[in-house]
Amino acid sequence: MGQLWEYILVFLLAAVPWIEIAAVIPLGIIRGLQPVLVVILGFTGNLLTTVMVIFLFESIKNYLFKKGKREGNGKRQARAKKIWNRYGLPGLTLLGPVLIGMHIAAFIGMTLGASKGWTLLWTVISLFLWSIIFGVAAYYGVEAFKVFL
Which residues lie below 8 Å from residue 127, measured CB to CB, with a gap of 6+?
A: 21, 43, 46, 47, 50, 97, 102
Q: What is the pLDDT of residue 70?
A: 55
pTM of the model: 0.85
pLDDT digits (tens, 9 = 90+) for 3-30: 899 999 999 999 998 888 999 999 999 9
For residue 133, what pLDDT is reported? 97
Domain that holds residue 134: 2-148
Count of domains observed in the chain: 1
pLDDT for 96-137, tens place per residue? 999 889 999 999 899 988 999 999 999 999 999 999 999 999
**The pLDDT value given to residue 124:** 97
Q: Is the pLDDT of residue 76 over 80?
A: no
Give me the pLDDT at residue 148, please.
83
Q: 11 or 76: whose pLDDT is higher?
A: 11
* Type of residue at 31: R
